[in-house]
A = this chain, B = another copy of it.
């Protein structure tokens, strides 16, 4: 094992070994016995990820029994969003935790293969969209459709992912005082006992945080080289795709599809349900959806609804895909790249000894305390089903920790603000206009552009990130809507497509969900930071004076 608590120890000290790998940066030259720096962690993790076969020793950050012989309050299996935040919360409350992960880093799939690269890809998509749109205007050169490379962007990500990993290992140890064993698979012995790296650990509780994986559709050819999901895309893609077909209509399908297409790789999305009308996305406003889909189509992305993939064609490598449309006809697209953006299923294999209760899709059933059917065993994160989002994973983990530490803490994740990317940031919270009209008798909206405007010349919204669009082709600059109950004047829902508003929705969601709600009059009193991307504050102000406000 590699004892990361004592970097100066060993025949060749850990620190000497790391420094032989490269330059850890200016903060990497502290005293021999000082904790590993972020730069040193990055070198170590990158080396293990690049050469797993010669790096099978676990990374060991557990107190010696001589120094600390307290029982563990919980062992967290999996150190991703749920496991890491849960561990931090338990530790912060004075408990003792042990976190185990098969990867040599904490943070899980998000920074390694999932949400972090997705955000890089979405930013790249946005920049490519702007560069293509603006070509030969201002300083923008002609856009070379062959220049952007999916592979290059993935390589950029992989070259850099060691640092976020390193930050999490460093922060968890130095700032959050967690104990963990990484680069080691746990084996479950029973509901209180885990074996890892040849040692057994017992704890008062277990928290299961092992996440989920893509379910590939069971069609012929799905195993061919050239078929990827978000995970294998990062680890295995080794050629530059020319043409992309996406199976599935999830957020992932829309996000990765927008990225592939923006790089110049013509993309078709084959989806059973209409995009953004799936059960997994709640409160989607039809006006927002219309704008998002129209803008994807405006970029040339092909979206085929009611499409059923039949077979991936190829001979060792993908050459095409056959699919069936609602009318029963079969169609074929020649393509060298198939991306699967369908649903996910939980990683449960190791839990067989527990007899966990699962739902009809296979997700672990956990109550609002994150308790499973097995006493002392909690589940958190993607394991318990959608939404497969960071806030849910983290707060599930924290919820489990708080209950383990004696609080009575419930976490209801059935209502939340939501988002996705295309080349835009798409964000919403609260009720859609249609939902509001179903529940309230007197609903008004504030919308930009208004329904009766010509969006090609209605130069709003304009704000951080949409100014160049607003001044070159206004319809590209975004769309927003605020849904209000005119009787109580409370804001019921907020919806935005554009840039720069996503962060605000965390707070808008909080404000409108307070028991007392948040009225348009209160919104109107805020001090806006012009040009605020969602324009809600000033648009409310323009209507707030009215006894009975009407649409704007």
Contacts and interface: CB of A to CB of B under 8 A. Distances in A.
A392 B89 CA distance: 42
B394 A464 contact: no
Contact of A167 (B110, B127, B141, B460): B460
A291 interface: no
A502 B464 CA distance: 9
B529 A120 contact: no
A542 interface: yes
A543 B92 contact: yes
A120 B468 contact: yes
A395 interface: yes
A39 B526 contact: no
A179 to B, nearest CB: 16
Contacts of A509: 526-527
A123 interface: yes
A159 B510 CA distance: 40
A148 B139 contact: yes
A69 interface: no
Interface string A496-507: 000111111111
A256 to B, nearest CB: 15
Interface in A168-200: 171, 175-176
Interface string A530-552: 11111001100111111100001
A187 to B, nearest CB: 29
B457 A42 contact: yes
A290 interface: no
A454 B27 contact: yes
A313 interface: no
Given A167-B458, A545-B93, A531 B115 contact: yes
B472 A156 contact: yes
A385 B161 CA distance: 49
Interface string A110-134: 1000011001101110011011000
Interface string A401-436: 110000000000100111100000101000000000
A532 to B, nearest CB: 5
A310 interface: no
A295 interface: no
B530 A390 contact: yes
A375 interface: no
Interface string A468-490: 10111010000000000000000
Contacts of A508: 507
B541 A394 contact: yes
A123 B454 contact: no
Given A157-B471, A471-B120, A542-B176, A457 B163 contact: yes
Interface string A512-535: 000000000000001111111110
Contacts of A128: 139
A123 B465 contact: yes
A210 interface: no
Given A391-B530, A546-B92, A552-B175, A147 B152 contact: no
A65 interface: no
A50 interface: no
Given A394-B538, A462-B164, A453 B502 contact: no
Nearest to A468: B123
Interface string A216-260: 000000000000000000000000000000000000000000000
Contact of A459 (B37, B160, B533, B537): B160
A85 B141 contact: no
A26 B470 contact: no
A506 B504 contact: yes
A312 interface: no
A348 interface: no
A130 B509 CA distance: 32
B462 A116 contact: yes
Interface in A139-155: 139, 141, 144, 147-149, 152-153
B500 A499 contact: yes
A463 interface: yes
A53 interface: no
Nearest to A397: B541
A519 to B, nearest CB: 13
A456 interface: yes
Given A92-B545, A502-B500, A531-B115, A465 B465 contact: yes
A379 interface: no
Contact of A506 (B42, B457, B526, B541): B526
A141 B143 CA distance: 10
Contacts of A138: 124, 148-149, 152-153, 156
14 contacts: A88-B545, A116-B531, A124-B467, A160-B472, A163-B458, A163-B459, A175-B450, A390-B538, A391-B527, A398-B545, A413-B527, A463-B503, A503-B533, A507-B526
Given A141-B141, A164-B459, A506-B537, 6 more contacts: A175-B542, A391-B530, A413-B527, A502-B529, A504-B507, A506-B532
